[in-house]
Amino acid sequence: MTRYRCRVAGVGVGAGADDDISSPSLHFRSGAPAKPGVAGKLVKPTAVDRSERISVSRSGLDDIANCLRSEARTGAGVDAWTVGQNVATTSGNVIAHAAADAIEVSEYLGIPYATPPTGPLRFQRPVEFNGSYVINATDFGFACLQPGDGGQNSVPQSEDCLTLNIWTKPQVGERKKAILVWVHGGAYSFGSSRAPGYNGEYISNQTDVLSSGHFGFPGNPVTASNLGLLDMRLAIHWIRNNAAAFGGDVNRITIFGQSAGASMADFYSYSYASDPIANGFILMSATVDGFPVATASRWLRIAETAGCGASTTDPNLITECMRSKTARELISALSSEDTGIGAVPAFRPGVDDIIIFADYSSQYSASGGYLIGNNQNEAGLLTRSTGDGNPSWRYRYFGDFPNLTVSADLPSGAYHGAELQPLFDTVPHSPIPSTSEEVAIGDYLRSAWAAFSKDPAHGLLSYEDGWPKYEPTEETLVRLAFGNKTGTNLALGNAYDGPCHFLERSVM
């Protein structure tokens, strides 16, 4: 068994002895300027700075970087993987650890993939981060700054939030793992990959993508629009460039998301159809939507509240002023109508006809497999055309378990997001234990998502008793957890469809 022998500042690189999916996790944008590096220290992030996770011990830095690269060249990487092994990436040399609650899973948290979008980079296209620092990847990066509390008041927040997390287990199973990239929901305004319900160690190879807030979709008329989607693209690029070092197969990348995260994944499939990098898409409870044309009206109102619009109408001067404000000053300028809690998120992707389009009926999405579905007791949200010939599957989730009910007085049914905790195997401990059916359904969901990610074009055809490809007038709709049971209970593809607009794909 080959062991890493690289060390820096008293920290060993690699230790220990000797599922089939690998998992990175991403953040999209939103904080305070980064401070200079902290020399020779490896500490968990508790305040606002990426630098507290990046050690700049110059005396040993070159040695450890060269040692890691040498080990990789001589085959001591994935072929002789040790749990918690450190990895050399384009962002720096990443110090890892074993995941706390999963067997032999290596965990890498808070890896920066973009330069902090602060100062002159605020409201600009993301810039790739390249570093030679040693990154202490033992705690999550910061959540992007969010209006109100959004349930995230106890979570460290910062404008410097463009980081990713990786869970992997390459020492067993397939030599190269399929990659699942997770994009969580939150009305484009809330959420964090730090949320316990999104912990990827249980799926063991998943990428969290957080697209969040005012900074990602500002509506500024003189800078790039839809920055959150550009952040996502840069993160997927990072995965393509670095996943092999973690045991990932860059030819099998599936992006999956729920709610606003699913919309982001679907937007991405259209925006980058000619070079998607990913070849699988799982869209849970949302798809592309009709969004209003990007407008500067809300941006200008917030600028005036922040003290940047009263004395000038020059958009460049307004932008310069907005960049001079602290992130918290900008968040404080938001009114209650800007929190994104209502039916239409306050800050959201806007049509620019470059990466977000006004008419998706005339657009083609990325080639690859699509798994699309929604839950029984949530409003039917959107439709998605399957006329482009991509292999597609459709599901509807029915799971209803007593320990996940929203109200003790009324039945909750399969509400919006009800499938997430069984899927991630993050059901909280409570006085009401999980039923055996609930545990079995969680296993079934994870295995199905993994089968799809390993082969988005054919994997589900042979999973268990087989999932048929979607046809609207045939029994091809897979009813998951129907009667709280596993298996492929089938219904007509259009059995639950309601009135649609111009798109023809699975009703979401």
For residue range 454-479, list pLDDT tens digits in order: 999 999 999 998 999 999 999 999 99
Residue carrying the six token digits 């992030």 = 45
Query: What are the tokens at 166?
Result: 């990786």
- Considering the domain architecture, whether residues 325 and 412 belong to the same structural domain is answered as no
Please report how many Cα atoms fall inside a 13 Å half-sphere around the Cα of residue 289, on the Cβ side.
23
User: For residue 1, is it within any domain?
Assistant: no
Of 311, 338, 365, the last residue of a domain is 338
Integer Cα distance of 346 and 352 in angstroms:
17
- Considering the domain architecture, whether residues 330 and 426 belong to the same structural domain is answered as no
- Considering the domain architecture, whether residues 10 and 28 belong to the same structural domain is answered as yes
Would you state the pLDDT for residue 475? 96
Query: What are the tokens at 477?
Result: 């709709």
Would you state the pLDDT for residue 63? 53
Query: Structural domain tally of the chain?
Result: 3
Residue carrying the six token digits 């007038």 = 473
User: For residue 214, is it within any domain?
Assistant: no
- Considering the domain architecture, whether residues 20 and 148 belong to the same structural domain is answered as yes
pLDDT at 502 over 50: no
- Considering the domain architecture, whether residues 378 and 410 belong to the same structural domain is answered as yes
User: For residue 74, is it within any domain?
Assistant: yes
Q: Which of 373, 417, 419, 374 is nearest to 392 (CA)?
A: 373
Would you state the pLDDT for residue 338? 58
Phi, psi of 459 (to 5 degrees): -55, -40
Sign of the torsion angle spanned by Cα atoms 53, 193, 211, 394: positive
- Considering the domain architecture, whether residues 205 and 303 belong to the same structural domain is answered as no
- Considering the domain architecture, whether residues 367 and 421 belong to the same structural domain is answered as yes
Of 338, 370, 399, the last residue of a domain is 338
Maximum average pLDDT range among 1-15, 270-284, 290-304: 270-284
Q: What is the mean pLDDT of the chain?
A: 75
Average pLDDT of the segment spanning 134-162 = 77
- Considering the domain architecture, whether residues 354 and 490 belong to the same structural domain is answered as yes
Would you state the pLDDT for residue 232? 92
User: For residue 217, is it within any domain?
Assistant: no
Sign of the torsion angle spanned by Cα atoms 228, 22, 51, 155: positive
User: For residue 134, is it within any domain?
Assistant: yes
Query: What are the tokens at 494?
Result: 């259009």
Write the pLDDT tens digit of every residue in 189-239: 666 666 666 666 766 643 332 222 444 566 666 666 788 899 999 999 999
Query: What letter represents residue 334's amino acid?
Result: L
Write the pLDDT tens digit of every residue in 356-404: 888 888 899 999 999 999 888 775 444 555 556 799 999 999 888 877 7
User: For residue 303, is it within any domain?
Assistant: yes
> What is the extent of the structural domain holding 439?
259-291+348-508
**CATH number for 165:** 3.40.50.1820
Would you state the pLDDT for residue 295? 65
Tell me how crowded residue 377 is: count the other CB atoms within 10 A of its CB: 16
- Considering the domain architecture, whether residues 382 and 494 belong to the same structural domain is answered as yes
User: For residue 43, is it within any domain?
Assistant: yes
Phi, psi of 73 (to 5 degrees): -65, -35
- Considering the domain architecture, whether residues 283 and 303 belong to the same structural domain is answered as no
- Considering the domain architecture, whether residues 385 and 449 belong to the same structural domain is answered as yes
User: For residue 145, is it within any domain?
Assistant: yes
- Considering the domain architecture, whether residues 233 and 203 belong to the same structural domain is answered as yes
Higher pLDDT, 24 or 57: 24
